Amino acid sequence: MQTILGLDFGSSNIVVVMQNEGLILKESNLVSVRRTTNGYTLECVGNQSNKLLGKTGDNITTFSPVGFGEIVSFDYAVILLKQLLEKIHLKPSFLNPIKLVLLLPVGMQEQEIQKYMELCHAVKIKDVVIVPGIIASALGENINISANSAKMVVDIGGGTIDCAVINMNHVVCGSTLALGGRTLDSMIVEFIQKKYGVTIGLKTAQNLKEDIGSLYQNDSSTMQVSCIDNETMLVDTIEVSAKDVFDSMTMFLDELIRVIETTIIQLPPELAADVTRNGITITGGYSKIVGLEKYLRTKLGINILVSNESDIAAQKGLTRLVNNINLLETVTQK
């Protein structure tokens, strides 16, 4: 009997759902390798690699084999996916065939899509159906995608911003920006370095973003963080404000607004009117930035919708797809 799985290979996390089971795995999209005299050896993958971030010497490197919507290290992507499938006790074979529903960013080039197909084939999954991740996000938000009324969904993930307009079960217009939550972390590190003359780790930047990140400019929250003084090279502690985090996000926010406005401009007048009337739904792991809803509404002049479960919209929609083959066929018909 064929097992039907759904896979979202995100830049931050890998999510796997199973028909009639729901979420069966969520692991960090990370691989750790140790440098030896003979090259590199695998240290660990997934959540175990996440625990090593910022806590190892130069001999161990931790990275994402798939990031910003692209496979950057095919061999390690295969290793990671194979180990995660083993973790959930699935070993694809002729006697245990798997049908995989794979979520990918909109606007992906055919060459890159082929690399994802080769990745699945490398772990012995031959039956692969590709669905735009933005479709799954819309379904997870219970948007009626079959209606003849255009809906805009913007998914802010760890490595990409997916922006698309959906009408009658298909993406009418969309694009993917190689900018996401991990880029924000790097921006915070760079801002703190320039302003305070100290260096913080990416993990610390992520904590700042999640704990005091806010788009309310009058937010007075602060947070003490450990750092390295760039002059003395000694460990130090500084106080970072919510305004610091806001100021470090400026370029990210400008690009987010630009991709939304560019997408709307490309639409026929009737569909653009639908988007203005229906509002814009924001999903993804970084849709929960405090004040994002009000900030975008003020800048764009369009109603912004962020639900309580916007961060798991793609997961919910992917679960609907693997549980409803008729729905899956509807969104994959050309």
Asked whether residue 239 falls in the same domain as residue 156, the answer is yes
The total number of structural domains that make up the chain:
2
pLDDT at 266: 92
List all residues 6 or more positions away from 43 whose beta carbon is below 8 Å from its beta carbon. 32, 33, 34, 49, 52, 60
Q: Are residues 166 and 186 in the same domain?
A: yes
> pLDDT digits over 25-60, tens only?
999 999 999 998 888 899 999 999 998 887 777 889
Q: Find the domain containing 101 and state its range.
A: 3-29+64-135+314-332
Q: 150 and 293 share a domain?
A: yes
Mean pLDDT value of segment 141-165: 94
On whether both 225 and 253 belong to a single domain, the answer is: yes
pLDDT score for 334? 58
Q: What is the pTM of this model?
A: 0.91
Whether residue 324 is found in the same domain as residue 301: no
Instruction: Name the percent of the chain in helix, strand, coil, to the closest 5.
Output: 40, 30, 30
- Examine residue 45 and state whether it is found in any structural domain, yes or no: no
Per the domain annotation, does 318 fall within a domain? yes
Asked if residue 320 and residue 231 are part of one domain, the reply reads: no
Are residues 14 and 78 located together in one domain of the fold?
yes
Q: Looking at the structure, do residues 258 and 150 belong to the same domain, yes or no?
A: yes
User: What average pLDDT does the structure give for the chain?
Assistant: 92
Determine which helix (DSSP H) or strand (DSSP E) holds 240, and give its type and residue range. strand 235-241
Confidence at 95, pLDDT banded by 50, 70, 90: low
More confident residue, 38 or 171: 171
**Residue 47 resides in a domain:** no
Portion of the chain with pLDDT greater than 70, in percent = 99
Residue 326 has pLDDT above 90, yes or no: yes
Residue 52, exposed/middle/buried by CB under 10 A (0-12, 13-18, 19+)? middle
Residues 82 and 122 reside in one and the same domain: yes
DSSP string computed for 163-220 = EEEEETTEEEEEEEES--HHHHHHHHHHHHHHHHSEE--HHHHHHHHHHH-BS-TT--
Strands 98-104, 127-132: pairing is parallel
Phi, psi (degrees; rounded to nearest 5) at 135: -65, -45
The residue count for the chain: 334
Same domain, yes or no: 166 and 266:
yes
What digits encode the pLDDT tens for the residues 55-81?
777 889 999 999 888 999 999 999 999
CA neighbours closer than 13 Å in the CB half-sphere of residue 153: 31
The pLDDT value recorded for residue 263 is 94
Whether 302 and 318 share a structural domain: no
> Is the same domain home to 238 and 178?
yes
Element (H, E) at 9: strand 3-9
Q: What is the CATH number of the domain that holds 16?
A: 3.30.420.40
Does any domain span residue 198? Answer: yes
Specify the pLDDT at position 94.
Answer: 65
- State yes or no: pLDDT of 311 exceeds 80: yes
pLDDT digit string (tens) for 287-299? 988 999 999 999 9
